[in-house]
Amino acid sequence: MNQRQMEIICVGNELLIGKTLNTNAHWMARRATSLGINVKRITVVGDNVDEIANAIREALQREPRFIITTGGLGPTFDDKTLEGIAKALNSKLEVNEKALEMVREKYEAFAKAGRIEKVELTSPRVKMAKLPKDAEPLPNPVGTAPGAIKRVNETFLIALPGVPSEMEAIFEKSVAPLLRKEGGENLFFEASIYADDIMESVLAPLIDRIMHDNPYAYIKSHPKGEEGKPHIEIHFSTTAKDAKTAKDRLGKAIIQLSELIEKNGGKIKPKKTK
């Protein structure tokens, strides 16, 4: 099992046809990284049981500590993530009593608020409570469909909804504590500087040199300008136990690289310029 590693699997045709920008993967990757987790892969598949099952099986084989899916938990015919997970595990979906209770409570609240006349657990509603065998539901503070978690060997396999507010709420309530525990004292820190008037091909060997002298700082250049006017973001990151260690490391690398860049004709800007 690969400690601190995580994979994200996003389910939804809307991502594959380019209708929806994948802000969920971005949000979750950023949040998990900040908790000391190492996101190794993000996979996007469509609303298809076999595609979902294949992606889950492949991820399980790589043995990350966490696999988190988003999307496909709702009441419609094309919400197929839990079926895909069950298939990947050669298991079946069954109505989970705790999950059904969560769904019932939501509709009872809707009835109380006068939004529905009576609480009917119709088939699309019961669907949201059908989980893979031995999975546990995760309460959804802002929506109807619960999330789900199931341990598979050493991996936590977690399913979250695709609606961003629901995904984020379940993540913060039920997933972040697990990630924080796994991340332990490994915290992620980052900083950027911006360099003008230096080409990336000139910058490349300078970064090599500074990374060689600063093995704990990872430095990556991101060209932002146009061909006629180089403008490069240089991103520094490190994983450390505390902010002071991280600041010392990144500060040293930033000062050394800035000096080298200026010696080579570049100009350092601490802030992004338009």
Site residues for its own copies, 70-129, by CB under 8 A, read: 74-78, 110, 113, 115-116, 122-125, 128
Angle at the Cα of 192 (from 260 to 167), degrees rounded to 5? 155
- Report the alpha-carbon distance of residue 120 to residue 75 in Å, rounded: 14
Q: Which of residues 30-49 bind its own copies (CB under 8 A)?
A: 30-33, 39-47
236 is a site residue for its own copies (CB under 8 A): no
- Report the alpha-carbon distance of residue 167 to residue 141 in Å, rounded: 10
Beta strands 187-196 and 231-240 are antiparallel
Spatial contact of 128 and 99, defined as CB atoms under 8 Å apart: yes
CB of 92 to its own copies, least distance (A): 21
C-beta closer to its own copies: residue 223 or 251? 223
CB of 273 to its own copies, least distance (A): 17
CB of 100 to its own copies, least distance (A): 14
C-beta closer to its own copies: residue 8 or 158? 8
CB of 134 to its own copies, least distance (A): 26
Beta partners for 57? none
- Report the alpha-carbon distance of residue 34 to residue 103 in Å, rounded: 32
Structure tokens at 9: 């699997």
C-beta closer to its own copies: residue 110 or 268? 110
Catalogue the E-assigned strands of the chain. 2-11, 38-45, 64-70, 93-95, 130-132, 136-138, 147-152, 155-160, 187-196, 218-223, 231-240, 267-269
Q: At what angle do helices 200-213 and 243-263 cross, to 10 degrees?
A: 140
C-beta closer to its own copies: residue 82 or 150? 82
C-beta closer to its own copies: residue 14 or 136? 14
Give the interface segment with its own copies, choosing from 7-15, 175-183, 241-249, 256-264 (CB under 8 A). Answer: 7-15
Give the interface segment with its own copies, choosing from 18-26, 84-92, 129-137, 174-182 (CB under 8 A). Answer: 18-26
The residues near 2 (Cβ < 8 Å, ≥ 6 apart) are 40, 62, 63, 64, 65
Q: Which of residues 188-227 bind its own copies (CB under 8 A)?
A: 188, 190, 199-205, 207-208, 211, 218, 220-223, 226-227
C-beta closer to its own copies: residue 125 or 150? 125
Give the interface segment with its own copies, choosing from 27-35, 131-139, 175-183, 247-255 (CB under 8 A). Answer: 27-35
- Report the alpha-carbon distance of residue 26 to residue 113 in Å, rounded: 35
Q: Which of residues 52-71 bind its own copies (CB under 8 A)?
A: 55, 58
What's the start-to-end Cα distance of the chain, in Å? 45
Structure tokens at 139: 């309460």
Q: Which of residues 148-167 bind its own copies (CB under 8 A)?
A: 163, 165
Number of residues that bind its own copies (CB under 8 A): 73
C-beta closer to its own copies: residue 27 or 216? 27
